[in-house]
């Protein structure tokens, strides 16, 4: 049952009872006198020079903001230079690595590692998809596979190091 239906069943109110009460009023007991007006000749009122709007920096807050923006610009430029220097170093390192791969492209250790990485990645991806499709892919399965990949990586590192030192040195 709605509120309106419930209220309609109750006792009827007179027009006086149904009308909302008037809001309370604040009685003004003060009379306006000249003593309560602001004295414009007092020291608390400050005037602004007519050249105020033509000044570059008009407030302390504005000066602080301009200083913060200048510092931020300097920091950005310094970080940009640092990033540019790191980028150049990374490009140089990448070129060096690319040259090493080109020089050793006939080395069986390099070729074997490349084949192992591609094969392992493909088999892990396919196996993970099959487990996912069957609804059997859990965090335990992912953790076990991650552990196996870690064991493979450690074994491959030591085997490759041994082969590079003893049988197939890098060029």
Mean pLDDT of the chain: 84
pLDDT of residue 127: 93
Beta carbons within 8 Å of 108's beta carbon, 6+ residues apart: 163, 168
Whether the pLDDT of residue 43 is over 70: the answer is no
pLDDT digits (tens, 9 = 90+) for 107-126: 899 889 989 999 999 999 99
Q: What are the residue ranges spanned by the domains of the chain? A: 59-103, 106-171
In degrees, rounded to 5, the angle at the alpha carbon of residue 76 between the alpha carbons of residues 73 and 80 is 140
Q: What is the DSSP string of 60-110?
A: HHHHHHHHHHHHHHHHHHHHHHHHHHHHHHHHHHHHHHHHHHHHTTT-HHH
pLDDT digits (tens, 9 = 90+) for 20-39: 888 888 877 776 655 555 55
pLDDT digits (tens, 9 = 90+) for 47-97: 767 776 677 777 788 888 889 999 999 999 999 999 999 898 888 888 888
pLDDT digits (tens, 9 = 90+) for 141-161: 999 999 999 999 999 999 999
pLDDT of residue 28: 75
pLDDT of residue 149: 94
């Amino acid at each position: 049952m709605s509120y309106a239906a419930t209220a309609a069943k109750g006792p009827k109110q007179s027009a006086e009872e149904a009308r909302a009460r008037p809001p309370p009023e604040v009685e003004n007991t003060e009379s306006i006198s000249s003593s309560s007006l602001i004295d414009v000749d007092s020291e608390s009122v400050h005037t602004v020079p007519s050249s105020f709007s033509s000044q570059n920096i008009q407030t302390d807050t504005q000066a602080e903001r301009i200083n913060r923006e200048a510092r931020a610009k300097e920091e950005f430029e310094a970080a940009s230079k640092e990033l540019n220097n790191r980028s150049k170093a990374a490009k140089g390192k990448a070129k060096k690595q690319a040259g090493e791969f080109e020089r050793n492209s006939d080395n069986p250790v390099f070729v074997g590692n490349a084949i192992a990485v591609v094969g392992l990645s493909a088999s892990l991806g396919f196996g993970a998809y099959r487990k996912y499709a069957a609804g059997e892919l859990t965090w335990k399965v992912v953790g076990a596979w991650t552990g196996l990949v870690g064991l493979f990586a450690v074994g491959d590192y030591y085997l490759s190091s041994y082969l590079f030192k003893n049988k197939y040195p890098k060029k």
